Amino acid sequence: MKQLLVFIRKEFYHVFRDRRTLLILFGLPTAQILLFGYALSSEVRNINLGVVDFAKDPASQQIVSRVQSSRYFNLKEAIPTYDAMQRAFRENRIRAALIIPAGFNGDLRHTNRAQVQVIADASDPNAATTITNYLTGIIGDYQRELNATAALPYRIGTETRMLYNPDLNGSLNFIPGVLALILMIVCTTLTSVSVVREKELGTMEVLLVSPFRPILVLIAKATPYLVLSLLDFTLILLLAVFVLDVPVRGSLLLLFAESALFIVCCLSLGLMISNVTASQQVAMLASMMGMMLPTLLFTGFLFPLENMPLPLQWISRVVPARWYYLIVKAIMLKGLGFAAVWKETAVLVGMALALLGVSLRNFKIRLA
Amino acid sequence: MPLWAKTGKTMGAVTVTNLTKTYEKGSVTALDDVSFRVEAGELFGLIGPDGAGKSTLFRILTTLLTADRGTAGVDGFDVVKDYRKIRNTVGYMPGRFSLYQDLTVEENLNFFATLFGTTIRENYHLVKDIYEQIEPFKDRRAGKLSGGMKQKLALCCALIHKPTVLFLDEPTTGVDVVSRREFWTMLNRLKEQGITILVSTPYMDEAVLCERIALIQTGRILSIDTPDAIVRGYPDRLFAARTDDLPRALADLRANPSVRSTYAFGEYLHLAFRQNDTENVSGLSRYLAEKGHSGIEIKPVTPTIEDRFIDLMTRETTPS
Amino acid sequence: MNTKEQKAIVCRDLTKRFGDFVAVDHISFEVERGEIFGFLGANGAGKTTAMRMLCGLSHPTSGQAAVAGFDVYRQQESIKRSIGYMSQKFSLYENLTVLENIEFFGGVYGLSDAKLNRRSERLITTLGLGQEARKMVGSLPLGWKQKLAFSVAVIHDPAIVFLDEPTGGVDPVTRRQFWDLIYEAAGRGITIFVTTHYMDEAEYCNRISIMVDGRVEALDTPGNLKHRFAADSMDEVFYQLARGAKRAAD
């Protein structure tokens, strides 16, 4: 037991004495969160907007002129029909449309209620949200102005529709995505590199010719990274909550438990890579190409999975990060409990057991 | 009676029987039917160039590799079946510097002590002589030590658990003459503590510092005996010759039919004649003088391990 | 012709500092054309640093040096064109064949195709590598690799060739064949600048220098050095000089 503890302490020395490792451990998550959080939700301007004005009455014209005078929008020629609008969307001439139904003014004056529709191209979800917010804001201003002089309050309802990506995947979803990515990097890449470094330095030879069980080498290697990745996880959560104002709606405990499960998955992957590679470079490349790219591509946080060809969707099912991503999204953003994620959890448990089994079974007690 | 002739004691002994090891699906033979025995408490040298199979042999004996054929035992344990027992008792210092460069001298030693379930204090007497030399730098990272210092630290780490057998794979390669001498002094002191030591080296001049040696080349043992006996095995009388122009003398001697072999050896050329003949030396002096050499000197010399190695090597490649 | 052009290497008070550490401390020596010059020293004495400066790979802190008549501060590119370099660690590409290596390095040094063909043919015959010409260098025994590496390092007839422990770990027979090649190159007028840990090889040099703690402590023919230190062998000379080395770290 003492041997194991000393070994683990040694691993921490390695980590804290290597600036590059520290940078990956703590610099990378911070940079990614801030990058995704700020750079990607920046202000949107000069949006090409199509207006489908079926009403063509004083009230509709007032709204259109307000939109026109906003610095956010470029008003395109008036669009006569729904079909024309659809075409405009497809041909990328407009990114959003404002539809005012016939009899808008009449509805407003007589029933005090009227309806407009806002449609946005949500393939860029961040932009789509921003656009609809702007439009709703303009309409809200107009409504307040009317109400200032009215006896009875007017109400203009805004119905929003998101084209292409109705769930708005991506708005806050980058946080679960970054979580998956960072844990993957820390656990898989750093673990495999640290095992392979011992092979490259020749220290693995000395370790093998000692009473210390080879399997304990793996455990001792994995432990620090388990601890460090939980630290990283906490760091990302704190940044998300306190810097980006993203709420954690579900159970924090459940979130930690699921993350620990995913970490075990990643650690096993890292150990598996270290079993079959002999140089740090190859290990790095293997975990980057074999693990990071699939994580980026197939979790659905950068590219919506629904839009992918079927074979790619199947591939996405074997990527652990995809399941973890779903779990975190459900717990953190939707506030759901274990009942909603037990299937995904079961998949992850299965993957973790399989990977751990394979990597332990293939671990060599001798040199290659 | 030479040490190796005593039999019956297995503790600390190393036995190697018909060991063969190939790499790359049998296309490269690293060890070719090697057999020998090292007695407890012996300082045994494995002398041969890079690629001779020294490291492979050490790795098999330290249970890091398995052989294709043959058996080997350390301390009476089989290197395949009882690998765990062997790992408990032997000390191993690989050819490359194999310590943690980012840990300090003290941290390294502490780590390896704990790994073997012991403490520095418990076996300090073993490493004291060596460790005292590097103690002033105990807070320095191992990566920042000089070559000689690194070797000393590595030796301390391999010794700290009081191994019965110590395997040192080329501990002096690339180390300067001064550090090499110090290193051999340390080995002799360790031998006095009763530790069996197997050491490999490409430097022929270090062979005489061992009790017994094996000359090894391309996976085969050329000869195995005490250094003295190996030198006595040199079949001819050996002469050293010199003139004021050594490179030209070498070419001229090679052209002389009475000379069986000749090669540069430090400030002299070593040469052996085809036939033992008292007229040899005077004949050769005349020959060199005719070729216009000045400062001619030819004298009999005692062969060294290197002379014997060259002799055995050339016999291997050109069977007479 | 000035004296600088007659000497292969001229070194005056050459110094290299790294912060407070004086790696090379005012070394001065001259190497004649066609000379075999042994450059010995204890581990960490500053040999590698000095050699790097002479090869035009690093700038001296102070002092002067000319290699093949070119200044080490201003004419590093000219120096690189007129020298060959070979070390125990890097010499040839293991995953290229013998011929491909020769062609590559010949090309790097700007040999014409006709010249390259003639020389590579001569080289392969001299080394007896006819059978192996199309084999990967990685599959050759170490001794052959080193002989080939040396021949490639002098394929462009450089003024000087720098050899950094060229025979480390090589068997005694091949080691001597290697020195045959060195003598042959020296005979062609190529200056040899060589480091080694084999003291018998020090005897094969025309002159040797021994560095201790960044300074050249002795420089003479092997015979004179042994006489001066009343020693039987170069081993003993080296030991007497380097024993007092202060430097603990590289």
Q: How far apart are CA C150 and CA A146, in angstroms?
A: 93
What number is the average pLDDT over the span A88-104? 85
Q: Do C172 and B306 touch (CB under 8 A)?
A: yes
* pLDDT value for C1: 42
- Check whether A145 has a pLDDT greater than 60: yes
CATH architecture of B238-302: 2-Layer Sandwich (3.30)
* pLDDT value for B1: 39
A200 touches chain B (CB under 8 A): no
Asked whether the beta carbons of A128 and A122 are under 8 A apart, the reply is yes
Residues A219, A202 share a domain: yes
- Check whether A171 has a pLDDT greater than 70: no
Q: Do B247 and C173 touch (CB under 8 A)?
A: no
- Check whether B2 has a pLDDT greater than 50: no
Residues A341, A197 share a domain: yes
What number is the average pLDDT over the span A19-45? 78
Q: Which domain holds residue A249?
A: 2-39+172-361
Residues A292, A178 share a domain: yes
Domain boundary among A124, A140, A163: A163
Q: How far apart are CA A230 and CA B140, in angstroms?
A: 32
**Is C in contact with A (3 or more beta carbon pairs below 8 Å)?**
no
Domain boundaries, given as residue ranges, for chain B: 3-232, 238-302
DSSP assigned state of A291? I
Asked whether the beta carbons of A96 and A132 are under 8 A apart, the reply is yes
Look over chain A and give the mean of its residue pLDDT values, rounded to a whole number: 84
Residue type, A288: M
Chain B residue at shortest CA distance from A213: B84
Domain boundary among A163, A181, A216: A163
Structural domain contains residue A366: no
- Check whether B320 has a pLDDT greater than 50: no
Condensed to tens digits (0 to 9), the pLDDT of residues B68-117 reads: 999 999 999 999 999 999 999 999 999 887 899 999 999 999 999 999 98
Q: Which of A80-94, A117-131, B24-38, B70-84 shows the lowest mean pLDDT across its residues?
A: A117-131
Chain B residues with CB-CB distance to A under 8 A?
59, 62-66, 83-84, 87-88, 90, 92-103, 107, 110-112, 114-117, 157-158
Q: What CATH fold (topology level) applies to the domain C3-242?
A: Rossmann fold (3.40.50)
Q: How far apart are CA B156 and CA B12, in angstroms?
A: 19
Q: How far is C200 from chain B (nearest CA, A)?
A: 4
| Closest CB to A211 among B98, B117, B157 | B117
**For residue A366, which residues of chain B lie inside 8 Å, CB to CB?**
63-66, 83
A202 touches chain B (CB under 8 A): yes
The pTM of the full predicted model, rounded to 2 decimals, is 0.82
Task: Report the domain count for chain A.
Answer: 2
* pLDDT value for B240: 95
Q: How far apart are CA A141 and CA A136, in angstroms?
A: 9
Q: Specify which of A108-117, A244-253, A327-336, C6-15 reaches the highest per-range mean pLDDT.
A: C6-15
Tokens read off for B92: 């191993």
Beta bridge partners of C192: C36, C161
* pLDDT value for B139: 94
Q: How far is B94 from chain A (nearest CA, A)?
A: 7
**Phi-psi label, residue A203: left if phi above 0, alpha if psi -120 to 50, beta otherwise:** alpha
Tokens read off for C146: 């080193």
Higher-confidence residue: B78 or B13? B78
A365 touches chain B (CB under 8 A): yes
Domain boundaries, given as residue ranges, for chain C: 3-242
Structural domain contains residue A158: yes
Within its chain, how far is the Cα of B54 from the centroid?
9
* pLDDT value for C191: 96
- Check whether A167 has a pLDDT greater than 80: no
C35 touches chain B (CB under 8 A): no
Residues A264, A207 share a domain: yes
Look over chain C and give the mean of its residue pLDDT values, rounded to a whole number: 89
Determine which of B58, B62, B64 to mutate to test the interface with A (most A C-beta atoms within 10 Å): B64
* pLDDT value for A164: 59
- Check whether B221 has a pLDDT greater than 50: yes
Residues A147, A266 share a domain: no
What number is the average pLDDT over the span A176-199? 87
Question: Helix (H, G, I), strand (E, B), or coil: what is residue B269?
Answer: strand
Structural domain contains residue A101: yes
Structural domain contains residue A27: yes
- Check whether B60 has a pLDDT greater than 50: yes
Q: Which of A40-44, A269-273, A352-356, C128-132 shows the lowest mean pLDDT across its residues?
A: A40-44
* pLDDT value for A79: 84
Total residues found in chain C within this entry: 250
Q: Please, which chains are in contact with A (at least 3 CB pairs closer than 8 A)? A: B
Asked whether the beta carbons of A330 and A345 are under 8 A apart, the reply is no
**For residue C234, which residues of chain B lie inside 8 Å, CB to CB?**
266
The residues of chain C scoring below 70 in pLDDT are 1-5, 90, 247-250
- Same topology, domains B3-232 and B238-302? Answer is no
| Percent composition of chain C: helix, strand, coil (DSSP 3-state, to 5) | 40, 25, 35
> Which string of b and e fits A311-350 if b means at least 16 CB within 10 Å?
eeeeebeebbbbbbbbbbbbbbbeebeeeebeebbebbee
Domain boundary among A163, A196, A223: A163
**For residue B63, which residues of chain A lie inside 8 Å, CB to CB?**
208-209, 366
Q: How far apart are CA A281 and CA B320, in angstroms?
A: 50
Q: Do B115 and A366 touch (CB under 8 A)?
A: no
Superfamily of B3-232 according to CATH: P-loop containing nucleotide triphosphate hydrolases (3.40.50.300)
Asked whether the beta carbons of A21 and A229 are under 8 A apart, the reply is no
Q: How far is B96 from chain A (nearest CA, A)?
A: 7
Residues A339, A204 share a domain: yes
**For residue B208, which residues of chain C lie inside 8 Å, CB to CB?**
none
The owner of tokens 């002989």 is C147
Residues A292, A304 share a domain: yes
What number is the average pLDDT over the span A76-92? 82
Structural domain contains residue A368: no
A367 touches chain B (CB under 8 A): yes
